[in-house]
Homo-oligomer: A and B are copies of this chain.
Amino acid sequence: MELKTVQTQKIYKNIVEQIVDLIHDGSLKCGDRLPPERTLAELLNVSRTSVREALKVMEIMGILEIKPGEGSVVSDFNVKPFLSMVWPAILADKNTEKDLLEFRKILEEGSIRHLALRGESEEFFKSLKDIVDNMEEVIDDAEKSVKLDIQFHRCLFELTGNNVLMQVQNFVEYILERTVSHNRTAALEKKDSGEAIFKQHKDIYEALVVGDSLLAVKRMSYHLDYVQSIS
């Protein structure tokens, strides 16, 4: 005898599913306003409480923004609301910081490896080249350098065109910003690190442009280790 367990779906989950489906098939687009809670409750023939639970969950999921007095608006999927509540919980031990740094390294190395392997044209990497060129100009301005540094890495992920990768990257950077106990700007100001870091980015870019994946990964790995060592 083989029977599946009958699971009574909770109401709020049902509501979430319905609304997510509407977003999925395009009936609800980003920026659209949902009907007021009271109306939704009537339409769905459930209590306002259940509707509110569903909306709250979707808010945490990062696909809805709820504003008192205004209403609920569909927003771009964004993991930040979720993370902002969850990160104290997942960062219970100091060990996680080490893991996160290694994880980021894997992401960055993997991204650049896959990018290099694609053998794209020099034109394709123009946005990256612009950033590197700008870096050279502001080489002594720690603050601007840090901004370009961040841009460089973000640009890499964007060039992969992989949305999952970008979401996870955002996720990691978001947490690292709030946990890693160091100041990037301060690190860039001391020694001649500004010069060194500029050269590292330039090297990475050049290996990438010629499609040398091994070299690109090696240089990215070196760069990340260097940044970490001076922070």
Contact = CB atoms under 8 A, between A and B. Distances in A.
Interface in A107-151: 107, 109-111, 113-114
10 contacts: A20-B88, A21-B88, A24-B89, A57-B57, A57-B60, A61-B82, A77-B90, A90-B167, A99-B164, A106-B111
Interface residues of A, number: 47
Secondary structure type dominating chain A contacts = helix
Interface in A32-81: 49, 52-53, 56-57, 60-63, 77
A23 interface: yes
Interface of A: 12-13, 16-17, 20-21, 23-24, 49, 52-53, 56-57, 60-63, 77, 82, 85-86, 88-90, 92, 95-96, 99-100, 102-103, 105-107, 109-111, 113-114, 160, 162-165, 167-168, 214
Copies per assembly = 2
B100 A109 contact: no
In order of increasing CB-CB distance, the 8 nearest A-B pairs are A106-B110, A99-B164, A99-B162, A103-B164, A20-B89, A110-B110, A61-B86, A77-B90
Contact of A89 (B12, B63, B86): B63
Nearest to A171: B168
A53 B51 CA distance: 12
Contact of A162 (B23, B88, B103): B103
